[in-house]
Structure 1
Amino acid sequence: MTAAERLVVVGGDAAGMSAASQARRLKKPDELAITAFERSHFTSYSACGIPYWVGGVVDGPDALIARTAEEHRARDIDLRMRTEVTEIDLDRGRVRTRELDDGGRESWTGFDKLVLATGARPLRPDLPGIDAPGVHGVQTLDDGRALLDALEQTAGRRAPLDTPGTSAGRRAVVVGAGYIGVEMAEALIRRGYEVTVLERSAQPMSTLDPDMGALVHEAMCGLGVETVTGTTVTGVLTDSAGRARAVTTEDADHPADVVVLGMGVRPETTLAAAAGLPLGESGGLLTDLAMRVRGQDAVWAGGDCVEVHDLVSGRTRHIALGTHANKHGQIIGTNVGGGYATFPGVVGTAVSKVCDLEIARTGLLERQAHAAGLRFVAVTVESTSRAGYYPGARPMHVKMLAERRTGRLLGVQIVGREGAGKRVDIAAVALTAGMTVEQMTALDLGYAPPFSPVWDPVLVAARKATAAVRAAGG
């Protein structure tokens, strides 16, 4: 009887366990033995839901878990929690592991096929006091629980949820105004904190062009979030007990009872780099269309630890999103299980919110288009989410980039209130299809006064971009 092949999965969240589950659907246990290692206390969870758990919008952590460790094990996946992979030995086909809750016991596990789904790590700059109690990254459910525990320490002065301005003196500083930063700012407002956001760039949301980021800045200040831009954090001051009490910048000290780091993430590829696997410009693993690591026959990688192909620029990019991770896992599991699947790439779609402000983008920013060597026009329009006469119509700004001469759509950014964010999906589909802005003007979108003006804001931008392309000539 032929021995079953051995699959080892490093990382037990979206990409890793999607790969393991899909491989199990295609291969029985006597054909493929699957062992997965996860160093945290949780598996198969939605990290995107952490800000909403912290803000009290959703329950957690159980509500954020798609499938428990016990459920995976019931499907014949040997999932080992609180076990960290410390070394990959490609020559001998094995990984070294350390049990985090059992005295650090180490052992080796052999593999015939290997999946790396090690995720990303929050940026934590090397600054005085950055590791002090009271300073929190927010990447895993363990991080979310630790932050909530810290917030509970002020329970005696707790203000009701959804009561901005009743902070009883509680102050929070969020370092970084990217997606995580603005979402955590909202969560802390809901918890009754006075919130200050510190951002090094000239405007919040560096995932937008500065002119669109300025709209976010204005709205955040209007929502009661003190947003300080163009400032560099120099350290964290601590009290006599060693806890964080303020965040220092070049210009001022910002008092804080809690500090949240929201400066983005980087691929967690320490193991991969030590094993000599190929990394891209951002430090993410490089794979082929089947999500197999380049130059390796039996190693796959997916999720936040990889770089992906950008369908608009033709380059590789690091984009940490659960949507991509789950797709990667499905593709990897299909290929490991003997099937065939590929991941063609992304257009860089993302959407977020802070209170009632919706922020979305897809495709390229101006600086990314310049870096790709593209010549383009850029237009911005202001419209409304509904017919102007219909109750509840709110302003919406749409920015659109199109390639000169061809008119090919290159990117769209949207900032507005209810109904703004998901409109970016129109542009995401157009980008994936390689449409021109002129072709977009003929899209047959749904219309009724409660949902849109006669000309949807995205189509208004497409009309203006078409005119700009014609005016620019070659």
Structure 2
Amino acid sequence: MKLVVIGGDAAGMSAASQARKRSGVDDLQITVFERGHFTSYSACGIPYWIGGHVTDRAALITRTPQEFAKQDIDVRLRHEVTGIDLDRREVVARRVDGPAGEIREGFDHLMYAAGAVPVTPPWPGVDARGVFGVQTLDDGAAIHAWLDAHPAPRRAVVIGGGYIGVEMAEAMVRRGLDVTLLEKSPEPMSTVDPDMGARVRKAILGLGIAIRTNAHVHGIETTDGRVRAVRTPDDELPADIVVLGLGVRPNTTLAADAGIPLGETGGLRTDLRMRLLGGGRLDGVWAAGDCVESVHRISGRPVHVPLGTHANKQGRVAGINIGGGYATFPGVIGTAVTKVCELEVARTGLTEHEARAAGYAYVTASVESTSRAGYYPGAATMTIKLIAEKRTGLLLGAQIVGREEAAKRIDALAVAVWNQMTVEEMTGLDLSYAPPFAPVWDPVLIAARKATDAVHATH
């Protein structure tokens, strides 16, 4: 039996590793095609490497091709898959570096883990030198090399105020650049509600980062092929480097070209075991990671949530099943966390917009509290917002904006959302207390009490 894996990062290598654990070398041959220079790395760590929190790129790499070779997993770096022939059960590949020519590799099982690609609008000048997307470690290496090779850059424009945008804004500040962040929405961090986004915007301004909301980009101005400025309807913003943080889309071009149907989010549709839906020619074809769409456990709707946590879990599930075991992926609730300088932002479950779209009637409750007992040194403020179903009090979602030790409280809220707790049930949670770690009433409990009052007020 032969397993071919397209993509050598989290989902693909998790699948390969799990399949190998459950299959002997004589039972399963595994070949991985990876277009880039690296395998099994932390893409989430790229902004922190660029910004200097992490000093060694190698620290972001979990396992190398040489380590996978010890498991008899054949990783072929700098090999790009250009086609999938489902009838002949082959993939077609080429060497990115080295001699030209077509490579064909047959498969019994195919693991599609091609990830996602950055959204790149068709702006004039978007392909200029000094304009970068941030998706792979190769992308991060290109940014790092540009900054190292051009000590003159002093002005950075980051386009997009989502996770990557705010993290890269921090990285540029830490590198000593003057940073302007552009966001087309009224507030940054559209993954949280606008009232919480407004708190993020205020904090970002306080960090010395210029931020423009409701900002639209018309193009990139260049000189001799190198970025010079970002053009908006009102003016030009001088820029020595531009970072695109406009989100990503599933990398499904190969799949679509092979006739594999896509879901409504543009991602690949799988069953609970991560097999592609459809049967027939798709038997033995699996997918995981940023290229698939998942089911949201609260709304029940298909969603595309590209996170390394999901990619690793989905790849593991696929690999177990390919190797003859049994595992399922239960869905997602959209838990995510980020920081920009000292500001922490977190969310789980549904936002207000998502709750309305799913058909819920809901109440909200927001509280301000501190990370520690108010009298204990270092206590920092945070705001927690809960969204609960109007009739039942079911916790639909939660968001946190605050300083040190705020954001990881989202994990307790994520467990509550995952297990379909009501906000009233949450008020009795036995959370830990000591002055260095929390007030006697943890902010999670205070928010649950306030949300419970809001639910009761509607009866």
| TM-score normalised to structure 2 length | 0.98
The 3-state SS of whatever aligns with 1:303 is coil
Corresponding position of 2:149: 153
Deviation at 1:380, TM superposition (A): 1.1
d(CA) in 2 for partners of 1:114 and 1:108? 13
Counterpart residue type for residue 88 of structure 2: R
- The reply to whether residue 466 of structure 1 matches residue 449 of structure 2 is no
- The reply to whether residue 253 of structure 1 matches residue 273 of structure 2 is no
Deviation at 1:388, TM superposition (A): 1.2
Counterpart residue type for residue 298 of structure 2: V
d(CA) in 2 for partners of 1:38 and 1:374? 43
> Alignment RMSD, CA only?
1.0
Q: Larger deviation: 463-472 or 171-180? A: 463-472
d(CA) in 1 for partners of 2:150 and 2:102? 40
d(CA) in 1 for partners of 2:70 and 2:264? 40
d(CA) in 1 for partners of 2:385 and 2:378? 22
- 8 Å CA contact 2:157–2:239 kept in 1: the answer is yes
Counterpart residue type for residue 53 of structure 1: W
Deviation at 1:395, TM superposition (A): 1.2
Deviation at 1:79, TM superposition (A): 1.0
Corresponding position of 2:79: 83
Corresponding position of 2:198: 214
d(CA) in 2 for partners of 1:472 and 1:257? 54
The 3-state SS of whatever aligns with 2:98 is coil
d(CA) in 1 for partners of 2:175 and 2:427? 44
The 3-state SS of whatever aligns with 1:216 is helix
What does 1:157-236 correspond to in 2, within 5 Å? 170-236=154-220
1:127-157 deviations in Å (ceiling 9; x for gaps) = 00001000001111111111011111333x5
Counterpart residue type for residue 143 of structure 1: D
2:107 to 108, 111, 117: 111
The 3-state SS of whatever aligns with 1:273 is helix
The 3-state SS of whatever aligns with 1:304 is coil
Q: Larger deviation: 274-283 or 36-45? A: 274-283
The 3-state SS of whatever aligns with 2:387 is strand
Q: Gaps (5+ residues) in structure 2?
A: none
Percent identity of paired positions between Structure 1 and Structure 2: 63
The 3-state SS of whatever aligns with 2:69 is helix
Deviation at 1:383, TM superposition (A): 1.0
Deviation at 1:251, TM superposition (A): 1.6
1:7-35 deviations in Å (ceiling 9; x for gaps) = 11000001001100110111011100111
- Structure 1 segments of 4 or more deviating over 4 A? none
What does 1:389-400 correspond to in 2, within 5 Å? 389-400=375-386
Deviation at 1:93, TM superposition (A): 0.6
Corresponding position of 1:99: 95
Corresponding position of 1:347: 333
- 8 Å CA contact 2:265–2:302 kept in 1: the answer is no
Q: Larger deviation: 144-153 or 254-263? A: 144-153
| TM-score normalised to structure 1 length | 0.95
Corresponding position of 2:129: 133
1:227-279 deviations in Å (ceiling 9; x for gaps) = 1000111100012x220011111122111110000111111000111122231
- The reply to whether residue 300 of structure 1 matches residue 286 of structure 2 is yes
- The reply to whether residue 280 of structure 1 matches residue 276 of structure 2 is no
Q: How many residues align?
A: 456
d(CA) in 2 for partners of 1:148 and 1:105? 32
Deviation at 1:448, TM superposition (A): 0.8
Counterpart residue type for residue 217 of structure 2: V
The 3-state SS of whatever aligns with 2:290 is helix
Q: Larger deviation: 349-358 or 378-387? A: 378-387
1:399-444 deviations in Å (ceiling 9; x for gaps) = 1100011110000000000011100001100011110000000000
Deviation at 1:280, TM superposition (A): 1.6
1:424 to 397, 402, 410: 410
d(CA) in 2 for partners of 1:403 and 1:198? 34
2:227 to 244, 269, 272: 244
d(CA) in 1 for partners of 2:36 and 2:365? 46
What does 1:312-323 correspond to in 2, within 5 Å? 312-323=298-309
- 8 Å CA contact 2:108–2:284 kept in 1: the answer is yes
Corresponding position of 2:363: 377
Corresponding position of 1:161: none
1:314-350 deviations in Å (ceiling 9; x for gaps) = 1111111111111111111100000000000111100
d(CA) in 2 for partners of 1:43 and 1:387? 44
Counterpart residue type for residue 122 of structure 2: D
Q: Gaps (5+ residues) in structure 1?
A: 158-168
Corresponding position of 1:14: 10
Counterpart residue type for residue 155 of structure 2: R
